[in-house]
C-alpha cells in the first residue's frame, strides 16, 4: 500500500461543532434550544448526583431522564426506550456517559422522530429499507476517552437474540455538538481508562490501514497516536493528571474524526464476537490484536504505518501485555472464534490487503500468547 495519493479523489466532511476545555461542562446550557430535553445517562451517574446537577442547570421541569443505559446497547431495549419516550415532544438530547450512552442517544435521535413502531426491529433486524431523514439534535458529552462517538455518524446496536452487531449510520446520526471536558474523565477507574484508550488507539491505527484513508484522516490518526503514546502511560501512572487526561481525550477525539471518514477495519471485525458472546470489553477486544496485525502485514503498509510514531505505539501495546488481560475471559479456541458469524461479515473489507480466516487465526493465536 502506498501513502495517500494526491491523484486519488477524496472528500472530507464532519459537521460536529466541538467545544473543548477544562470546566466547559458548565457552559452546556447555552448550546440547548428551547423545549423539553432528554438526558441520557447511566444509573451510576444518577447515583453520583450528575442527573440532579444537569436538571438544576436546565430547569427541573424541562428534563426527561433516561438512565437505563447498560454496556453494549441492545436492539430490543432501544426500541422499548423509543416507545416509552415518543410522546414527550423532545427537542434536545443530552448524552452524558461513555460510548454506550452516546450510541443510545444517537439511535434515539433518529428513531424517535421516525414515526416507526419498533424502528430498529423493522430496519436493522428485518432489513427493511429506510433512510433516517430527521433527527433530534444531540449534545454528546463523553465521560471516557476512547470511543470518539461524539464525532462519528455511526452507532452500534447489538442484537443478542441473533448474536449480531449492527451499525446505524447516516448524516443524521452525527451529534450536533460534542462537549469535551477532561474533568469528567478524571475519576475513570484504571481498567476503563485503559480499555477506552485502547479503543482510541485501535481507531487511529485502523483508519491508517484502511482503503478509505485520506490525507485528512491520516493526519488526525497520526496526531491521535502521538498524543496517546505519551498520555496513556501518564494517566495510568497518575490518574489525577488533568493535563494528560485532556491529551488522552484529544487523542480519542482525533481518532474519532479519522474513523468518521474511513470507518474501522480488521481489529474491530475481530472484536465483535469476543464482545457479544464472551463479554470482552470493546477496547480490549479491539486492542489486543493490533500489534500482531501490524506484524503480519507491515511489509504491505506504507510510510505512515511504518513511522516512528507507530513504532512507539507498538512498544506501548507490547508493554501492556494485553494477551494476559484476555485470560480473564472464558474464550474458546481460535477455530471457534474465527468461525463465529460476526467475524466474517464486517469491516475486513476496509483492510487494504486481502486477509483470509487462516491469517486472522494466526493473528489471534499470536496475540493471546
Ligand atoms: Zn471502537
Q: Could you state, in order of their start, the residue ranges of all structural domains in the chain?
A: 24-180, 190-367
Question: Residue 202 is inside which H or E element, if any?
Answer: helix 190-208
Residue 231's Cα: distance from chain center in Å? 19
Cα(349) to centroid of ligand 1, in Å? 16
Average pLDDT, the chain: 92
Strand-pairing partners, residue 158, are 74, 165
Q: How far apart are CA 62 and CA 38, in angstroms?
A: 8
Lowest mean pLDDT among 93-102, 134-143, 179-188, 319-328: 319-328
What pLDDT is attached to residue 42? 97
259 alpha carbon – ligand 1 mean position (Å): 9
Q: At what angle do helices 290-297 and 357-367 cross, to 10 degrees?
A: 130
CA distances to 102, 261, 273, 344 from 330, in Å: 28, 35, 13, 21
The CA radius of gyration of the chain, in Å to the nearest whole number, is 20
Cα separation, 317 vs 292, whole angstroms: 10
Residue 238 Cα to chain centre, angstroms: 24
What is the whole-number distance in angstroms between the Cα of residue 283 and the centre of ligand 1? 6
Centre of ligand 1 from the C-alpha of residue 369, in Å: 23
Distance 111 CA to ligand 1 centre (A): 22
How many whole angstroms from 267 Cα to the centroid of ligand 1?
A: 9
What is the per-residue pLDDT for 293? 93
Residue 290 CA, ligand 1 centroid: distance in Å = 13
- What number is the average pLDDT over the span 89-118? 96
Residue pLDDT, tens place only, 311-331: 999 999 999 999 989 989 988
Closest by Cα among 152, 123, 125 to 138: 152
Q: Measure 74 CA to ligand 1 centroid, in angstroms.
A: 16
pLDDT of 347 over the 70 cut: no
Task: Determine the pLDDT at residue 40.
Answer: 98
Selected residue with higher pLDDT from 336 and 15: 15
Bridge-partner residues for 156, per DSSP? 167
Q: How far is the CA of 199 from the centre of ligand 1 (A)?
A: 5
Output the pLDDT for position 340.
Answer: 67
Please give the pLDDT value at position 94. 97
Q: What is the pLDDT of residue 368?
A: 86
Distance 193 CA to ligand 1 centre (A): 14
Q: How many angstroms does the Cα of residue 35 sit away from the middle of ligand 1?
A: 33
Ligand 1 centroid to 222 CA: how many Å?
17
pLDDT at 30: 92
| pTM of the predicted model over 0.85 | yes
Quickly state the pLDDT bin for 341 (edges 50, 70, 90): low
CA 148 to ligand 1 centroid distance, Å: 8
- The model's confidence at residue 153, banded by pLDDT at 50, 70 and 90, is very high
Tell how far the Cα of 56 is from the centroid of ligand 1, in angstroms: 33
Q: Which of 111, 45, 51 is nearest to 78 (CA)?
A: 111
Give the residue, 105 or 325, on which the prediction is more confident.
105
Q: Is 230 exposed, middle or buried (0-12, 13-18, 19+ CB in 10 A)?
A: middle
Alpha helices in 29-114 (DSSP H): 43-47, 50-58, 75-85, 99-111
Distance 135 CA to ligand 1 centre (A): 23
The kind and range of the H/E element at 63 are strand 63-66
From ligand 1's centre to the CA of 244, what distance in Å?
A: 21
Instruction: Say what the pLDDT of residue 342 is.
Output: 56
User: Residues 239-269: pLDDT tens digits?
Assistant: 999 999 999 999 999 999 999 999 998 899 8
Task: Report residue 346's pLDDT band, with 50, 70 and 90 as the boundaries.
Answer: low
Render pLDDT for 179-233 as a digit per residue (tens, 0 to 9): 999 999 999 999 999 999 999 999 999 999 898 999 999 999 999 999 999 999 9
CA of 60 to the centre of ligand 1 (A): 34
φ, ψ of residue 262 in degrees (nearest 5): -105, -25
Q: Which residues of 266-287 are buried (b: 16+ CB within 10 A; e: fewer)?
A: bbbbbbbbbbbbeebbbbbbbb
Q: Give the start-end residues of each E strand in 87-242.
A: 92-97, 138-142, 154-159, 164-169, 177-180
Q: Evaluate whether 193 touches 235 at the Cβ level (below 8 Å).
A: yes
Could you tell me the distance, in angstroms and rounded to a whole number, from the CA of residue 275 to the centre of ligand 1? Answer: 11
Question: At residue 67, does pLDDT exceed 80?
Answer: yes
Measured in Å, residue 150 CA sits from the centre of ligand 1 at 12
Percent of the chain with pLDDT over 70: 95
- Mean pLDDT computed over 282-309: 88
Q: Are 265 and 177 spatial neighbours (Cβ–Cβ below 8 Å)?
A: no
At the topology level of CATH, where does 190-367 sit?
A: Dehydroquinate synthase-like, alpha domain (1.20.1090)
Is residue 306 scored above 80 in pLDDT?
Answer: no
Q: Tell me: pLDDT of 364 over 70.
A: yes
Task: Indicate if the pLDDT at residue 274 is higher than 80.
Answer: yes
What is the distance in A from the centroid of ligand 1 to the CA of 34? 33
CATH of domain 24-180: 3.40.50.1970
Phi, psi (rounded to 5 degrees) for 226: -60, -45
- Quote the pLDDT of residue 305: 77
Evaluate whether 284 touches 324 at the Cβ level (below 8 Å). Answer: no
Report yes or no: 178 and 140 within 8 Å, Cβ to Cβ. Answer: yes
The predicted model gives 282-307 an average pLDDT of 87
pLDDT band for position 304 (cuts 50, 70, 90):
confident
CA distances to 155, 172, 296, 299, 360 from 212, rounded to whole Å, are: 19, 21, 20, 19, 21
- Give 294 Cα–ligand 1 centroid separation in angstroms: 18
Q: What's the confidence (pLDDT) of residue 343?
A: 59
Rounded Cα distance between 343 and 338, Å, is 6
The sign of the CA dihedral 21, 27, 28, 33 is: negative
Calculate how far, in angstroms, residue 197's C-alpha sits from the geometric centre of ligand 1. 10
Amino acid at each position: 500500500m502506498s501513502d495517500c495519493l494526491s491523484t486519488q479523489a477524496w472528500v472530507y466532511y464532519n459537521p460536529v461543532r466541538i467545544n473543548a476545555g477544562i470546566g466547559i461542562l458548565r457552559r452546556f446550557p447555552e448550546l440547548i434550544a428551547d423545549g423539553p430535553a432528554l438526558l441520557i445517562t447511566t444509573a451510576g451517574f444518577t447515583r453520583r448526583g450528575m442527573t440532579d446537577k444537569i436538571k438544576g442547570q436546565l430547569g427541573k421541569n424541562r428534563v426527561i431522564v433516561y438512565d437505563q443505559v447498560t454496556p453494549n446497547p441492545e436492539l430490543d431495549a432501544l426500541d422499548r426506550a423509543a416507545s416509552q419516550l415518543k410522546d414527550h415532544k423532545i427537542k434536545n438530547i443530552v448524552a452524558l456517559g461513555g460510548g454506550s450512552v452516546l450510541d443510545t442517544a444517537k439511535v434515539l435521535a433518529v428513531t424517535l422522530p421516525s414515526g416507526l413502531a419498533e424502528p430498529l426491529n423493522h430496519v436493522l433486524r428485518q432489513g427493511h429499507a429506510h433512510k433516517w431523514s430527521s433527527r433530534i439534535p444531540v449534545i454528546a458529552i463523553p465521560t471516557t476517552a476512547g470511543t470518539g462517538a461524539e464525532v462519528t455518524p455511526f452507532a452500534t446496536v447489538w442484537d443478542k437474540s441473533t448474536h449480531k452487531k449492527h451499525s446505524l449510520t447516516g448524516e443524521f446520526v452525527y451529534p450536533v455538538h460534542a462537549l469535551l471536558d477532561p474533568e469528567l474523565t478524571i475519576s475513570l477507574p484504571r481498567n476503563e481508562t485503559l480499555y477506552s484508550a485502547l479503543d482510541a488507539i485501535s481507531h487511529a491505527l485502523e483508519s491508517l490501514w484502511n482503503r478509505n484513508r485520506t490525507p485528512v484522516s491520516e493526519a488526525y490518526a497520526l496526531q491521535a497516536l502521538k498524543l496517546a503514546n505519551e498520555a496513556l502511560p501518564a494517566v495510568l501512572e497518575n490518574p489525577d493528571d488533568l493535563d494528560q487526561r485532556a491529551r488522552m481525550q484529544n487523542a480519542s477525539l482525533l481518532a474519532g474524526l479519522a474513523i468518521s471518514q474511513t470507518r474501522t477495519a480488521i481489529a474491530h471485525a475481530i472484536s465483535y464476537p469476543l464482545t457479544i458472546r464472551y463479554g470482552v470489553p470493546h477496547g480490549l477486544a479491539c486492542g489486543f490484536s493490533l500489534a500482531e496485525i501490524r506484524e503480519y502485514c507491515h511489509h504491505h503498509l506504507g510510510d505512515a504505518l511504518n513511522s516512528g510514531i507507530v513504532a512507539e505505539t507498538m512498544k506501548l501495546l507490547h508493554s501492556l501485555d494485553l494477551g494476559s488481560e484476555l485470560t480473564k475471559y472464558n474464550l474458546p479456541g481460535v477455530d471457534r472464534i474465527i468461525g463465529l458469524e460476526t467475524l466474517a461479515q464486517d469491516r475486513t473489507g476496509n483492510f487494504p490487503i486481502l486477509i483470509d480466516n487462516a491469517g486472522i487465526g494466526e493473528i489471534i493465536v499470536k496475540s493471546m500468547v
